[in-house]
Copies of this chain bind each other. A is one copy, B any other.
Amino acid sequence: MPVVDIHTHVYPPSYMSLLRSRNTVPYVRTFPDAPDTSRLIILPGEDDPATPSTARGRPVGPEYYDIKQKISFMDTHGIDVSVISLANPWLDFLDPSEAGETARKINDEVNELCEQHPGRLYAFGALPLSAPAEVVVAEIERLAGLSRMRGIIMGTSGLGEGLDDPSLDPIYAALEKHQQLVFLHPHYGLPWSVYGPRANEYGHVLPLALGFPLETTIAVTRMLLSAVWDRFQSLQVLIAHSGGTLPFLAGRIESCILHDGHLAKDEKLEGRRSVWDVLKTNIYLDAVIYSEVGLKAAIDASGKDRLLFGTDNPFFPPLGGETEWLSVKTNYRAITGAFGDDADGAKGVLGDNAIRILRLSS
């Protein structure tokens, strides 16, 4: 039974060099008081000079960039194939003039890494979203021809204005035309103030556990409200973290649309497809939800043939340094628990769905 991990991140060496060459967020920095470790600082809120250097961002070691560690992680956890992707914030921050070239270089390097591990690694590419639309479209076309690329990973900001931005239409059209799936992943979170006056006592729990999923859900809901899937009816989007909160809130979203006097008059939404229709036709969900309750809701919302196993490696490592990761075990356990006697269902989520949807056998 093949196991495929479709949510697993890599910072390839050229991306690490890029982050090391910068001196503002996002960047990798080695502080003078801890010269033996580097820290990855990806959000403005993580770079407060008042925070001790040993608590700023997160330590970044070979688990981020050494592909041998990825293979070793896969072996430990019974994962046959990984579809790797650049982690946030991808290439969103690049100067428009260099974005196209940087994207080509990094995507080529990732594709080559995958070719060096035949049958074990595939990848989602990264787009130069700060560049002019034609550069982005050209990279989508180019990615479709790379041997190990199986779609693209994208954040929620799009060209900077969100995924309901009409300027994204040529990009959605190119993704649809080349059958490139979008792996939609959060990064920007919510303003820190929403977490309240004691939020800094709670580590990273509030932004990671709640901010990320809501960022994702807002982005998808804006796509629904701007009729993206009515214009691009075969655009396929794989949503990180089992859709953020989409499976649970889909009913409330649909009901709020149906009860909104303003939207009732919006011609763009006349004859629109319902949230449920899009969930079952255009949306795939990963199985990174850490509970049977959540996983069952994801299955109910999108269908068991549209759910794909993932680990979020190298994030959420075990605090005690255990070889076997609790975060991975929890997601495995949720699949076993949710499917019970339905071995085929579990097999689908663990690997068969990914092989079919991402054409991994080809």
A317 to B250, CA, bound (A): 19
A330 on the B face (CB < 8 A): yes
Contact in complex: A198, B164 (CB < 8 Å): yes
CB 8 Å contact bits of A237-262 with B (1 = contact, 0 = none): 00001100101111111111111111
A18 on the B face (CB < 8 A): no
Q: What range describes how many residues of A lie at the interface?
A: 35 or more
Contact in complex: A254, B218 (CB < 8 Å): no
Q: How many copies does the complex hold?
A: 2
Contact in complex: B190, A327 (CB < 8 Å): no
A319 to B256, CA, bound (A): 11
Say yes or no: A205-B221 contact (C-beta < 8 A), given A293-B251, A297-B296: yes
A298 to B36, CA, bound (A): 47
A326 on the B face (CB < 8 A): yes
A271 on the B face (CB < 8 A): no
Contact in complex: B194, A218 (CB < 8 Å): yes
Contact in complex: B251, A225 (CB < 8 Å): no
SS class, residues of chain A in contact with chain B: helix
| B contact residues around A330 at 8 Å (CB) | 251, 255
A100 on the B face (CB < 8 A): no
The interface centre, meaning the residue of A165, A194, A205, A226 with most chain B CB atoms within 10 A of its CB, is A205
A133 on the B face (CB < 8 A): no
Contact in complex: A249, B196 (CB < 8 Å): no
A251 to B222, CA, bound (A): 26
| B contact residues around A213 at 8 Å (CB) | 245, 249, 252
* A27-35, A138-146, A284-292: which lies at the interface: A284-292
Contact in complex: A263, B294 (CB < 8 Å): no
Contact in complex: B222, A164 (CB < 8 Å): no
Contact in complex: A259, B316 (CB < 8 Å): yes
A115 on the B face (CB < 8 A): no
From B194, B203, B255, B259, contact of A260 by CB (8 A)? B203
A331 to B319, CA, bound (A): 42
Identify which of residues 260-280 in chain A touch chain B, using a CB-to-CB cut-off of 8 Å.
Answer: 260-264, 266
A93 on the B face (CB < 8 A): no
Contact in complex: B256, A208 (CB < 8 Å): yes
A361 on the B face (CB < 8 A): no
| B contact residues around A327 at 8 Å (CB) | 255, 259
**A: which residues have CB within 8 A of B?**
161-162, 164-165, 190-191, 193-198, 201-206, 208-210, 213-214, 217-218, 221-222, 225-226, 241-242, 245, 247-264, 266, 289-294, 296-297, 300-301, 316-319, 326-327, 330, 334
Other A-B pairs beyond A196-B222, A214-B214, A247-B293, 19, CB < 8 Å: A162-B198, A191-B194, A205-B263, A206-B221, A209-B255, A209-B256, A210-B245, A213-B249, A213-B252, A250-B291, A250-B293, A251-B293, A251-B294, A254-B290, A255-B290, A255-B330, A256-B316, A293-B300, A296-B297
Give me 11 A-to-B residue pairs in the complex whose CB atoms sit less than 8 angstroms apart, sorted by A's number.
Answer: A162-B196, A201-B226, A203-B262, A208-B252, A247-B294, A248-B249, A248-B289, A252-B289, A255-B326, A259-B317, A259-B318
